[in-house]
Amino acid sequence: MALPLGLERTWLYRRFIMGSVAQEVRARYAGSLLGTLWALLQPLSLIGIYSIVFSSIMRPGLEGGDHPLSYTIFLCSGLLLWMFFVELLSNTTNIFVRNGGLLKKVNFPRLTLPIITLFSALLNYAIIMAIFFLLLLVAGAPLSWALLYIPLVVLVTAGFAIGLGLAFATINVYYRDVAQLLAIITQLWFWLTPVVYPMSVVPERFHWLLAWNPIVPLVEAMHVMFLGGTKPDFSAIIAPSVFMLLSLALGVLVYFRLGADMTDEL
C-alpha cells in the first residue's frame, strides 16, 4: 500500500536519514575538547542560574516540594522539555535555507530534512534526560512509575514543534525574517509558560492567557510526574494533542502549497 504525502519515497531514504542523524551528532561536537558534554552545559548553566535566583522565591508555591532539590527537579523537568521544543522548532524552521545548496545539487525527498532534525533533537533530549535520571538517583530523589508516561508528552510536543516548524521552514524560504521573528516569539513564549514558576503564583485573572498556550499542559504534566509522582491528567493533554494535529496539518498544507518552487528561491 502506497504511503500518503510522498512518504513512500521518503521511506526509501531511511538509511540516508539514520546516517545523517549520526553525522549531525558527530559534526555538532567535532573538534571540541569537551565533546558531547557541550550538550549539557547550556541546560546546566540555565538550571544553575534559575535555581539560584528563583529557588527561595518559588519553593513555597510548589506542590509536593518537600525534597531539598524540589525546585531543581521542578525546573529541570519543565526546562528540558521546553528546550527540546525550541530546539526542534527553530532547527526545523531553518532546515531548507540551511541546506539550500544541497537541495539544488542533489535530488532527494526534502521531507527527509525535518525528519533528520526530529530524530537528532529526540536523541539529544534522550541523552540529557538519561543524565537527569542518573542525577536524581544519586541525589536520592523519589521516582515513580508515572514517569513511564513521559514518551506520550514528548510525542505531543515533538508533533506540535515539527508541524509548526515545517510551515515556518517553507515560508522562511520566501521571507527570511521568519527565523528572526521566531526567536523573539519564543523568548516571550518562554515567560508565558510555567517553566521557572509554578501555576500557583500566577494570579487567577491571567489564567485565561495561559489556557491558550498549548505547551502549558505538557510542562505541567512533566511537573506532576517528576514532583508529584502521579500520572498526568490525560484530559488536560487533549487540547495540546488537538494543537499538534492542527500544526501538522498546517505544516503539510503550507509545504505542498508553497514548496513546489522552493528550490528557485534558495
In a domain, 27, yes or no: no
In a domain, 59, yes or no: no
248 in Cβ contact with 159 (< 8 Å): yes
Neighbours of 4 (CB within 10 A): 8
In a domain, 16, yes or no: no
Q: Structural domain tally of the chain? A: 1
Higher-confidence residue of 107 and 158: namely 158
Tens-digit pLDDT profile for residues 165-197: 999 999 999 998 999 999 999 999 999 999 988
Domain limits for position 183? 74-265
Which of 22-36, 78-92, 172-186, 214-228 shows the lowest per-residue confidence on average (mean pLDDT)?
22-36
Q: Residue 39 pLDDT more than 70?
A: no
The mean pLDDT of 3-23, rounded to a whole number, is 74
In a domain, 144, yes or no: yes
In a domain, 106, yes or no: yes
Integer angstrom CA distances of residue 239 from 45, 232, 235: 32, 14, 8
Question: What pLDDT does residue 108 have?
Answer: 77
Mean pLDDT over each residue of the chain, to the nearest integer = 84
In a domain, 38, yes or no: no
